[in-house]
Amino acid sequence: MVKRRVSSGEKAKDRESWKNIFKGLFDMIQKQQRQIESFVRERKSLEKRIKSLHERWAFDVNLLQDHISQMKRDMKVKDMVRYVGDEHGVISVLKHEKDIAFLVLPYHISAKSLTGKVLIAYESGLIILWDILEAQVVVVRGDKVLELKNGASVNLNTIGEQR
């Protein structure tokens, strides 16, 4: 086998060619390094943004849970309050207590400010559930004959049968 002699000019060309290849590889690696560093910065930025959004959403969830709890407490209180009217149009507010059947609260309200239903109780034992919005009797219980102050009487059997 015969070895071929390489001239110094060819060696210089080969070195230059390899130098260009290594420079290209080095430049490519540097570019990839800059891209990786950029991706790391973007990842950290996104991480901060996601953490911030998570904290905000967690705060919103806690706020909504507190609001729901408050609404549940308000509904319990609302369920324990009843409006009772008398034949003079005075509506009293009754609150149900654990130890006491009903506690009459020390204030009265106008029927005009109510919406929903009002329970009207008469001395004779007559009880009427009145729908304020529909302006009609829902249920009548007790003595169905109402004695008016002028001596006349009204038979409620014709109006208030349970619907």
Same domain flag for 154 and 85: yes
Residues 18-67 have pLDDT tens digits of: 999 999 999 999 999 999 999 999 999 999 999 999 999 999 888 888 88
- Please spell the DSSP secondary structure of 69-95, one letter per residue: HHHHHHHHHHHTEEEEE-TTS-EEEEE
The reply to whether the predicted model has a pTM over 0.75 is no
Same domain flag for 73 and 132: no
Among 63, 79, 95, residue at a domain's last position: 79
Phi, psi of 17, deg, nearest 5? -65, -45
Same domain flag for 70 and 92: no
Domain count, the chain: 2
Residues linked to residue 121 through DSSP beta bridges, in sequence order = 127
Distance CA 156, CA 136 (A): 12
For the chain, how many residues are written?
Answer: 163
Same domain flag for 92 and 146: yes
Q: What are the C-alpha distances in Å from 19 to residues 23, 24, 32, 98? A: 6, 9, 20, 94
Structural domain of 46: 8-79
Same domain flag for 15 and 64: yes
2 occurs within a structural domain: no
Closest CA to 111 of 130, 138, 137: 130
40 occurs within a structural domain: yes
Residues 107-121 have pLDDT tens digits of: 566 656 666 777 777
Residues 76-133 have pLDDT tens digits of: 555 566 666 665 666 666 666 665 555 555 556 665 666 677 777 776 677 777 787 7
